[in-house]
Amino acid sequence: MLELKAISKSYGNQQVLNNVDFKINSQEFISIIGKSGIGKTTLLSVLAGLVKPDQGKSFFQNEEISNYNEEQLAHFRLLNIGIVFQDFKIIPSLSAFDNVYLALHPRTDIAKTKKKERVKNVLNKVGLAHKSHDKVFNLSGGEKQRVAIARSLVGQPKLVLADEPTGNLDEATSESIMDLFQSLHSELSTAFVVITHDSDIANKTQKIYQLSSQKLELL
């Protein structure tokens, strides 16, 4: 589905990725582990088309996307990719419903009534139907992350990329978030890639890759 071929990326004199090959198949559940600062977020950003590699190519469903311009990449993400960030990146003054709805707002191919229906459905899937109209600043950390997960899923993407989704959560909440990822993966025809430094989190996925010394290998 999504494939990186011979990807390299440097920032100044620091090389982060060196000749990395990586393939994500449909409906896979993958984790990528590695120490903080090793380049995991850079790798996720390349996968999402948020960062262009210095060398190498990216393909989505056999079509090269590494030569897309910014507008094409934004459209590609809108239709195909959901992203979950460690720091949630949701708007505290808006309700859970409105935060999720914003992800669908640019979609001209979906009727407004259908958008609202999708938001309700996805909030129900993440266990927040009863708090859909609560302001986000009143929610707990785990609930905020569930809003972020709902937002990543509402567009019915083929791939969800989660960058340290439990990094700001306590152990019990982290466990519940990973349980949610597992149940969503079982229920939906969506591939998930979870970036983490925590081997306990990684062990809940089907495949584990390790990023080390600018290289990515399957464990």
Express as a percent the part of the chain with pLDDT over 90. Answer: 95
Can you give the residue ranges of every domain in the chain? 2-218
How many CA atoms are closer than 13 Å to the CA of 84, on its beta-carbon side? 30
Residue 148 CB neighbours (<10 A): 27
Q: Using one digit for the tens of pLDDT, what is the confidence trace for 12-55?
A: 999 999 999 999 999 999 999 999 889 999 999 999 999 999 99
Instruction: Give the CA distances from residue 133 to residues 92, 97, 99, in Å, rounded to whole numbers and listed in that order.
Output: 12, 6, 10
Res 5 pLDDT > 90: yes
Please give the order of strands across the beta sheet that includes 63-64. Answer: 14-24, 2-11, 55-60, 63-64
Res 86 pLDDT > 90: no
Q: What is the mean pLDDT of residues 139-165?
A: 95
CATH architecture of 2-218: 3-Layer(aba) Sandwich (3.40)
Q: What is the reported pTM?
A: 0.94
d(CA 29, CA 207): 7
d(CA 127, CA 145): 11
